[in-house]
Amino acid sequence: MAGDVCEERLRAPEFAECVGTGRLAAGRAAWAASALVCGDRPVRLSVPRARMRKTRDGGWQWCGRPGTAAGRKGGTGVSDNPNLLAEQRRALILDEVRRRGGVRVNELTRRLSVSDMTVRRDLDVLARQGMVEKVHGGAVPVGEPSAHEPGFEAKSALELSAKEDIAEAAAQMAAPGSAIALAGGTTAFALAQQLMEVPDLTVVTNSVRVADVFYTAQRAAASGGTGPRAGAATVVLTGGVRTPSDTLVGPVADAAIRSLHFDVLFLGVHGISVEAGLSTPNLAEAETNRHFVRSARRVVVVADHTKWGTVGLSSFASLEEVDVLVTDSGLAAGMREQFAELPPELLVAGEPWQDADI
């Protein structure tokens, strides 16, 4: 009879669902309940372990469970598996935070195929363990000091759609035949791709990545046998010492910039605040940016909403020195009201244009 009870309990829908969906904690509870009814011998839940493998970009890929079709063929990504254990989810979240320099809740819900409440609970646990620091809408590496400078790769994966919207809006301020400066950063990199179609530009940049956008296009045209495209940009790359964000700074870069004059400077920043103005965690980059600002007739700052309220180690320009601030629609209403009273014109990409002189 005891055996019949056990067998009946193990067929229970709630236990089958727990095992089928990988909710092992609930599964163990169902199994334990069966053992208590049976009372004959200890039992142990045995479910094949989930398999994960590292991908080339440093992320993780779900490979299914051993002996299943998914396990034999491998999965297409973390988002294909809704059955991760809490510990596995948190390990993946922590890996993403460290690899990319920060993650957002909505990105994790898509990648892990779980609810935003599940992600927030995981972030709460990681924050209590001192592994991450929770911020509005996501998490960043814990204890990140004002002098910390994330690398280009870490920043390039964040706020992609916002950067594209900002770049598209800012590109309208580059007039054909003008001399412009593009400082470093991932938003400036996105802007460079939008500027490819503006004819007869002279582009001065201290960003290796930005320069490579134009050089790659020119090499592609040359290899195609068409020669340089009519109206292709003339690009000047300053020398200098390379930073983690792939910008060139220091005395060599400063000397080159001091001798030039620009119609418009497009400037990406680490942080913007009312008190500190524009700031960066790199002291040498701060000095190079000061020279950029002094050499430009017009200063346009391109920065997504996550940069607002952030303060780096060194300030290099006040908000009074900025003509236009271009950001995305994620900027909070309170922050918009705060900056609306300040000299720079605030343009929100994707929303109706205001009074900026384009």
pLDDT of residue 154: 57
| pLDDT tier at 88, thresholds 50, 70, 90 | confident
Count CB-CB contacts under 10 A for residue 73: 10
For residues 348 and 327, the answer to whether their CB atoms sit within 8 Å is: yes
The predicted model gives 275-286 an average pLDDT of 92
- Judge whether residue 340 has pLDDT over 90: no
How many percent of the chain have pLDDT more than 70? 67
Whether the pLDDT of residue 3 is over 70: the answer is no
State the number of CA atoms in the 13 A half-sphere of 342 facing the CB: 21
pLDDT of 61 strictly over 80: no
pTM: 0.58
State residue 55's pLDDT score.
54
Question: What is residue 208's predicted lDDT score, i.e. its pLDDT?
Answer: 92
Which amino acid is present at 66?
A: P
Contacts of 47 (CB under 8 A, 6+ apart): 19, 22, 24, 27, 65
Give Cα separations from 339 to 1, 137, 165, 311 (angstroms): 75, 21, 20, 16
Q: What is the pLDDT of residues 296-320, one digit of tens each?
A: 999 999 999 888 888 888 999 999 9
If one compares 350 and 65, the residue with the highest pLDDT of the two is 350
> Identity (one letter) of the amino acid at 201?
L
Q: How far is CA 150 from CA 141, 144, 160, 245, 250, in A?
A: 10, 10, 16, 7, 19
Going along the chain from its start, the domains and CATH numbers come out as 2-38 (no CATH), 52-141 (1.10.10), 152-348 (3.40.50.1360)
In 3-state terms the chain splits into helix, strand, coil percentages (rounded to 5) of: 45, 20, 40
99-148 tens-digit pLDDT: 776 788 988 988 888 998 999 999 999 888 877 888 878 887 765 555 44
Residue 185 is predicted with a pLDDT of: 87
pLDDT at position 4:
40
Position 220 scores a pLDDT of 80
Residue 274 has pLDDT above 50, yes or no: yes
Q: Please say if the pLDDT value at position 78 is more than 60.
A: no
pLDDT for res 197: 87
Look at residue 175 and tell me whether its pLDDT is greater than 90. Answer: yes
Portion of the chain with pLDDT greater than 90, in percent: 37
Q: What are the Cα distances from residue 247, in Å, to 16, 181, 192, 279?
A: 56, 13, 14, 15
pLDDT mean across residues, the chain? 76
Query: What number is the average pLDDT over the span 192-215?
Result: 93
pLDDT by residue (tens digit) across 30-55? Answer: 333 333 333 344 433 333 344 455 55
SS3 305: helix
According to the per-residue pLDDT averaged within each range, which of 111-120, 241-250, 258-267, 326-335 is highest? 258-267
Q: What is the tens place of the pLDDT at every residue in 15-24?
A: 333 333 333 3
Q: Which residue has the higher pLDDT, 80 or 229?
A: 229
Which segment, 169-173, 242-246, 271-275, is predicted with the most confidence on average?
A: 169-173
Q: Residue 231: what pLDDT?
A: 67
**What confidence score (pLDDT) does residue 326 get?**
96
Note the pLDDT of residue 73. Answer: 40
75 Cβ neighbours under 8 A, 6+ residues apart: 61, 62, 63, 64, 81
One-letter-per-residue 3-state SS of 204-253: EECEHHHHHHHHHHHHHHHHCCCCCCCCCCEEEECCCEECCCCEEECHHH
Q: What is the helix (H) or strand (E) element at residue 284, kind and residue range?
A: helix 283-295
